[in-house]
Amino acid sequence: MRRLLSVLALVAALSADAQVTCVGADCQTPDDSFTTIDMVEDFISGGLTTLATGALGMSFTALSTGTGLGTTSVPALQGAFRFQSHVSNDNSGVIIGIGSFNSFSTFSSQTVWTSKDWSFDCVFQPGSNSTAATNVGMFFGLAAAFTTDPMAGVGSIGVRWDSDRSDTTFMFVTCDSSTTGCGSNGDDTNQAVVASTITPVAGTNYRMRIRRAAAGVGGNPTLYFRINDEAEKTFCAAGCDDVLTQAPAGTVALSPVYFYVTRTTTGVLTGDLDYLRVRIPGVVRY
């Protein structure tokens, strides 16, 4: 009797435990607990290698004579990655992306960017070497090019700040063209731009957040952009700050990327990326 009571108590405890998951042939669906992609690159472990930096191995590409410094290269950069331009070369700097841009096809070649809810989050400090945060090109978000300026690629969803495009504040951009529109100063045939309320200041950390909600403003698919604690700026079919028709199609290969270059030949310009997180719930593994 004592053993029977113990068994009954165990069954009752398991029944009350919401964390117990059915696994095995008796289940209606297979257990698949890895359908949420949650990647956080904080650069705490590992230094700069040939093609990667940080614990997750973000791809690293130097533009012109730009360089990137890992956490083991500069003691002051523990937990950050430094983008660095060159004193005498215009358009020199660094691009990094999660996974190699070509091997990220598990997600980039799918319609995940137009069918799933997802979010990007990072902290970035422009002008981290106390050089004025001017004459700079910066992009954070999704882009379809890795070895060239992602702002002029075949498609992008991201945060932009670029002196070549006369940006005075951070700008939120969506673009879907392989020929025209991307990288324009403002709205174009294939590009929509909404201004942030925040102007970059050298040596200041900014938290940048981008997310997509399938049922956002008015129940429509919506892209949300935000710097620090400002009110989110939105792109959707109707009722948002701008329309969403410029968002890249699901067939366009996109990958998470951070881009930082100088737009001058005077002075070394740097920017420090503290961490970068990509979260995509509901991605099917099989």
pLDDT tens-digit series, residues 184-228: 888 888 889 999 999 999 989 999 999 999 999 999 999 999 999
Segments making up each domain of the chain, as ranges: 34-280
Query: Is 137:263 a contact under the CB 8 Å cutoff?
Result: yes
pTM above 0.85, yes or no: no
CATH number of 34-280: 2.60.120.200
> HSE of 117 in the Cβ direction (CA atoms, 13 Å)?
8
Q: Which of 109-113, 265-269, 271-275 is predicted least confidently?
A: 109-113
Q: What is the pLDDT of residues 13-67, one digit of tens each?
A: 333 333 444 444 444 444 444 467 777 777 765 554 444 555 555 677 888 888 8
Least confident of 60-69, 173-182, 235-244: 173-182
